[in-house]
Amino acid sequence: MAEKEVGQTSIWGRLLAWAVLLGLLGLVAIQLGRSQRGMLTRGEPAPSFTLTTFEGTEIGSEDMMGKVVLVNFWASWCKPCEQEAEALQTAWEQYEGRDDVLFLGVDYVDTEKEALAYLERWDITYPNGPDLGTQIYYAFRARGVPETFIINKLGEIAFVKIGPFQGLEELTAVVDRLLEP
């Protein structure tokens, strides 16, 4: 009788150990799956996010609906970001009057003082804000800066640029194509 009880305890112990082990393996698998998903690609729905600008204005999904939205990840310490700063601002000045285009600058892992100095240096006027908690960066599964995601009017990722735009034409060609009826 005692032996039977010991045997049953042993079985339950083993089952518990296996359950814990499988649970842990499951967690590892989920984490690995998440990290191996890679970047957002064309056609995928864009993640919803809210950007609070340096001025305190909140820009959320409702403000982006039905618009071509350019999301540019940058940082003041990022030298390659400077290569495209002028092109981005010039492009924004071309589209600023339209109500179907929105440019958003997402400041990644940066300090506010230097970020504001950067915006002033490059005369950037489109909405920019810090990526609080690095949440937007992770939502877009970005890999560094500069990186730019252009979202079409349907809310899908239409274009991904890793690294700086080579010039204004490269940038406007994409936005213009997405604005075509």
Q: How far is the CB of 133 from another protein (least distance, A)?
A: 4
Sort 58 into a burial class: Cβ within 10 Å, 0-12 / 13-18 / 19+: exposed
Query: Are 160 and 147 within 8 A, CB to CB?
Result: yes
Q: Which stretch binds another protein (CB under 8 A): 50-58, 66-74, 94-102, 105-113?
A: 105-113
Q: How far is the CB of 26 from another protein (least distance, A)?
A: 12
Q: How far is the CB of 39 from another protein (least distance, A)?
A: 16
Binding status of residue 147 toward another protein by CB under 8 A: no
Contacting another protein within 8-27 (CB under 8 A) = 17, 24, 27
- Rounded-to-integer distance, Cα 179 and Cα 168, Å: 16
Q: Which stretch binds another protein (CB under 8 A): 39-47, 56-64, 87-95, 127-135?
A: 127-135
The binder of another protein chosen from 47, 67, 68, 110 (CB under 8 A)? 110
H or E, element range at 33: helix 2-35
- Rounded-to-integer distance, Cα 94 and Cα 91, Å: 5
CA dihedral 167, 127, 125, 41 (to 10 degrees): 0
The binder of another protein chosen from 48, 61, 125, 135 (CB under 8 A)? 135
Binding status of residue 114 toward another protein by CB under 8 A: yes
Provide the CB-side half-sphere exposure for 171 (13 A, CA): 29
Q: How far is the CB of 19 from another protein (least distance, A)?
A: 14
- What pairs with residue 147 in β-bridges? 73, 162
The binder of another protein chosen from 19, 29, 132, 162 (CB under 8 A)? 132
Q: How far is the CB of 3 from another protein (least distance, A)?
A: 14
Query: Are 94 and 41 within 8 A, CB to CB?
Result: no
Site residues for another protein per CB under 8 A: 17, 24, 27, 75-77, 109-111, 113-114, 130, 132-135
